[in-house]
Chains A and B, each alone.
Chain A
Amino acid sequence: KAGVTQTPRYLIKTRGQQVTLSCSPISGHRSVSWYQQTPGQGLQFLFEYFSETQRNKGNFPGRFSGRQFSNSRSEMNVSTLELGDSALYLCASSSGRILGEQYFGPGTRLTVT
Chain B
Amino acid sequence: GDSVTQMEGPVTLSEEAFLTINCTYTATGYPSLFWYVQYPGEGLQLLLKATKADDKGSNKGFEATYRKETTSFHLEKGSVQVSDSAVYFCALMSYSSASKIIFGSGTRLSIRP
Q: Which B residues are CB-close (under 8 A) to A33? A: 99-101
Is the Cβ of A55 less than 8 Å from the Cβ of B99? yes
A56 proximal to B (CB < 8 A): yes
Inside 8 A of B104's CB, which chain A residues have their CB? 42
Report the tally of A-B residue pairs with Cβ distances under 8 A. Answer: 58
Contact flag A43-B100 (CB < 8 Å), given A103-B46, A104-B44 = no
| Contact indicator B43/A105 (Cβ below 8 Å) | yes
CB-based contact A56/B99 at 8 Å: yes
- Across the interface, A43 reaches (CB within 8 A) one of B49, B98, B103, namely B103
**A6, A48, A50, A106: which contacts B100 (Cβ < 8 A)?**
A48
Please pick, from B32, B36, B89, the residue contacting A99 in the complex, using a CB distance under 8 A.
Answer: B32
Whether the pair A42, B49 counts as a contact (CB closer than 8 A) is no
- Which range holds the interface residue count of chain A? 20 to 34
B87-111 contacts to A (CB < 8 Å): 89, 91-93, 95, 98-106
Contact B46 A48 (CB under 8 A): no
Contact across chains for A43 and B99 when beta carbons are under 8 A apart: no
Residue among A48, A90, A99, A103 with the highest chain B CB neighbour number at 10 A? A99
